Amino acid sequence: MYTVLIGLAVICAVWGVVAALLIAADLQRRGMKISYLWLRLLILKYLHEYAKITREQTGRVGPLFYHYVVPLNVALVLCIILAIRG
């Protein structure tokens, strides 16, 4: 059971990292200067900018926003469950 939860948490974390890279690439395509070196620290700023830009263009937040937020929250819940049960 622990192995499955750890595997799911790792998959969610990787999914979040890939989504962060896709958000950065999308913002760079739209003309925003992106620092991949400091991406871990600036991802929340980039996430906010992505949400703002996509909301202005389409009236809705872009799908990559949810592809970042949801898996990382799931990974957090799985880690909490592992900590409680462990």
Distance CA 45, CA 32 (A): 12
Q: Provide the pLDDT for residue 50.
A: 97
The number of distinct structural domains making up the chain is: 1
Over residues 14-69, the pLDDT tens digits come to 999 999 999 999 999 999 999 999 999 999 999 999 999 999 999 999 999 999 99
For residue 40, give the 3-state DSSP assignment: helix
What's this model's pTM, rounded to 2 decimal places? 0.90
Nearest by Cα to 39 from 28, 52, 51, 55: 28
User: What's the domain range around 75?
Assistant: 2-85
- Contacting residues for 21 by C-beta, under 8 A, at least 6 apart: 39
What CA–CA distance (Å, rounded) separates 65 from 74?
A: 15
Q: What is the pLDDT of residue 1?
A: 84
CA distance 25 to 62: 14
